[in-house]
Amino acid sequence: MNVKELLARAIHEEAAGLEALAGAQLPAVMLEVPPQKEFGDFATNIAMQLARPARQNPRALAEAIAGRLNARAALGKHEPAALSWLKEAKVAGPGFINFYLKPDWLYAVLADIAAAGEAWGRSDSGRGEKVQVEFVSANPTGPLHVGHGRGAAVGSALANLLRIAGYEVTTEFYINDAGNQIDCLAASVDARYRELLGQQVEFPEDGYRGRDIVDTARRIADQAGARYLLMDPAERLAVFKELAREEKLALLREDLEAFGVTFDVWFSERTLHAAGAIEETCNQLKESGDMYERDGALWLKSTAYGDDKDRVVIRDNGVPTYLAADIAYHRDKFVRGFDRVINIWGADHHGYISRVKAAVAALGYDPERLEVLVLQMVNLFQHGELVKMSKRTGQGVTLSELIEEVGRDAARFFFIMRSTDSQLDFDLDLAKSRTNENPVFYIQYAHARIASIFRQAEEAGLAVPAPGEAPLTALTSEWECDLIRKLGEYPDEVATAARERAPHHIARYAHEVAALFHSFYNQCRVIGAPPDTQAARLTLAAAVRDTLRSALAILGVAAPDKM
């Protein structure tokens, strides 16, 4: 029984039954958990929303709705219209309605969790909407850094979250393997290769100077010796472009898999060029009048769709801009049938959003079907000081180094636990600590404690009650009731976090559940309590375990049985 849904439905029915609102279009009833217990289990401001169409004082309207609900609560529990779980509806302030429920509804929450099993928290709120989530999409020119790590953690968690909320999700990595950056990669490897073989080389001014480029060149030299020096320079660059691309891409996959991130699709930018998709897209835009020629170049008429200026798509020398491939790529996404496309970009791409949305509109698609989440910067701190460079290489800290330093679970949780539009200060010392101040340790420790309880129960030969068999009315303390209330919020937390594209809500929720469980554990003995209480508390512990497992699975964080 989802009492929140039942309550919202009852409020809507009683409001619709008021003469002052006859025939009016009523908004959805929003219920919130009040910040303080004395204000009840749930509260709504529906009366204030309805005051204008009803032309009534909001408090008077609240009194009328509350009175009708209280009348239904007073009916015999076998009456069809009865709200047997509602203790009382009270009006507060200018027109809030606070609802106080009987303890029975809490016990129904535990029954729901036990019945749902691994499906607890799942919903159909996404209604099967086909969503593509594209994230990371780093240039295959070097190792992933911590900024990519935040995108990887958030993107994979968002995909998990959307799936559990009933969306049909495809994850995608866009491989930027065409254009200047790949040419520059080949030239950089070529220069290092020739240096290793004793030639005097002028390194490309815009070349990649990372140690990984030297490593790539050394591997080529070890395998082929000086053979490539005999090649025509252009041919050698073409070979090195392929060798370096494949190696860097393999390393990206390896780093991401080590971070618990995989993709359904790896989409190569090259395929857009090879298939003529860019030319085809430009022809479509020219035919619709949304692309024009000026000074020998082709321009997107993006100002017609909200951009601050028109954009060059094909340069006067015939070479496509980066935007050209991006337009063709987004066209391809919608041609593939996605209802919604979500891109996760770094903060340096913020100014790029308007032109891509303009291009989507020019192609004839609703630009609102394209969502862009912008990730703010990550700052690493250690011993209270900002860490800018890797101690090992003297360059930016890579994702693999971060995982080695703090572990995969801590890295993922810390990347996810803040909103994407907030700058993230990542405290390396905190992430490594095994204290309650470390949020991921605190949550995992709660799960490990529960596993310990069930190991003790097994050793003592105690049977865990089957769903519906435990005497749940033995759960009456504030620690038990507060914990059950929080567990009951989980399906709404998942649906809301998915709708708002906010996996950090799940991280926060898991921490709140862990805090309530630790309080319960410290105050309420489980093994060794009176038989009915013991059985009920084992059921409660199982419900907390299942909820934490589900939340941690969304975040891509392990739920250990021992710590």
What DSSP designation does 321 have? P
The structural domains of the chain, ordered by start, are: 3-102 (3.30.1360.70), 108-125+436-555 (1.10.730.10), 180-253 (no CATH)
The mean pLDDT of 484-512, rounded to a whole number, is: 96
302-329 per-position pLDDT tens digit: 999 999 999 999 999 999 999 999 999 9
* 38 token code pair: 């004395």
Q: CB neighbours of 193 closer than 8 A, spacing ≥ 6?
A: 217, 220, 221, 228, 240
CA angle at residue 136 from 133 to 142, to 5 degrees?
Answer: 155
The predicted structure's pLDDT at residue 118: 86
Taking phi first (over 0 means left), then psi (-120 to 50 degrees means alpha), and beta for anything else, what does residue 113 get? alpha
Report the range of poorest mean pLDDT among 36-50, 166-180, 387-401.
Answer: 387-401
Give the model's confidence band at 391: pLDDT under 50 very low, under 70 low, under 90 confident, else very high.
low
Q: How far apart are CA 379 and CA 2, in angstroms?
A: 42
**In angstroms, rounded to a whole number, what is the distance separating the alpha carbons of residues 328 and 363?**
10
What distance in Å separates the CA atoms of residue 211 and residue 206, rounded to the nearest whole number? 15
Predicted local confidence at residue 393, as pLDDT: 62
**Given this model, what pLDDT does residue 23 score?**
76
The predicted pLDDT at position 463 comes to 81
Give the pLDDT score at 392: 61
Angle separating helix axes 46-54 and 3-16, nearest 10 degrees: 20
CA 512 from centre of chain: 18
Mean pLDDT of the chain: 94
Residues 6+ positions from 184 with CB-CB distance below 8 Å: 141, 204, 206, 207, 208
| pLDDT, tens only, 60-80 | 999 999 999 999 998 876 676
| pLDDT tens profile 248-297 | 999 999 999 999 999 999 999 999 999 999 999 999 999 999 999 999 99
Pick 145 or 468 by higher pLDDT.
Answer: 145
Its pTM stands at: 0.91
Per-residue model confidence as pLDDT tens digits over 7-40: 889 898 888 888 888 877 888 899 998 988 889 9
Query: Which one is predicted more confidently, 379 or 85?
Result: 379
Band of pLDDT at residue 3, cut at 50, 70 and 90: confident
Q: Give the list of residues 6+ apart from residue 129 with CB closer than 8 angstroms, or none.
A: 167, 168, 339, 340
pLDDT band for 469, please (50, 70, 90 cuts).
Answer: confident
pLDDT at 443: 98
Is the pLDDT confidence value at 390 over 80? Answer: no
Tokens of 14: 């009683």
How far apart, in whole angstroms, are the C-alpha atoms of residue 70 and residue 82?
Answer: 10
Q: Please check the confidence at residue 82 and state whether its pLDDT lies above 80.
A: no
76-90, 209-223, 373-387, 421-435: which range is least confident on average? 76-90
pLDDT of residue 84: 85
Q: Which residue from 47, 65, 67 is spatially nearest to 57, judged by alpha carbons?
A: 47
pLDDT at 55 over 80: yes
The whole-angstrom separation of Cα 362 and Cα 536 is 60
- Per-residue pLDDT, averaged over 124-129, amounts to 94
With b meaning 16 or more CB within 10 Å and e meaning fewer, what string describes 10-47? bbbebbeebeebeeeeeeebebebeeeeebbbbbbbbb
Q: What is the pLDDT of residue 319?
A: 93
Is the per-residue pLDDT at 388 higher than 60? yes
User: Stretch 333-338: mean pLDDT, rounded?
Assistant: 98
pLDDT for residue 331 is more than 80? yes
Q: Which helix (H) or strand (E) holds 409?
A: helix 408-416
- pLDDT tens digit sequence for 156-177: 999 999 999 999 999 999 999 9
For residues 54 and 291, give the distance between their C-alpha atoms in angstroms, rounded to a whole number: 51
Q: Is the pLDDT of residue 56 over 70?
A: yes
d(CA 361, CA 305): 7
291: its two tokens: 């692309």
Q: Using CA atoms of 515, 516, 518, 523 in order, give the dihedral in degrees to the nearest 10.
A: 150
Tell me which residue has tokens 């016990």.
107
Quickly tell me which residue has 């993230």 as its tokens. 424
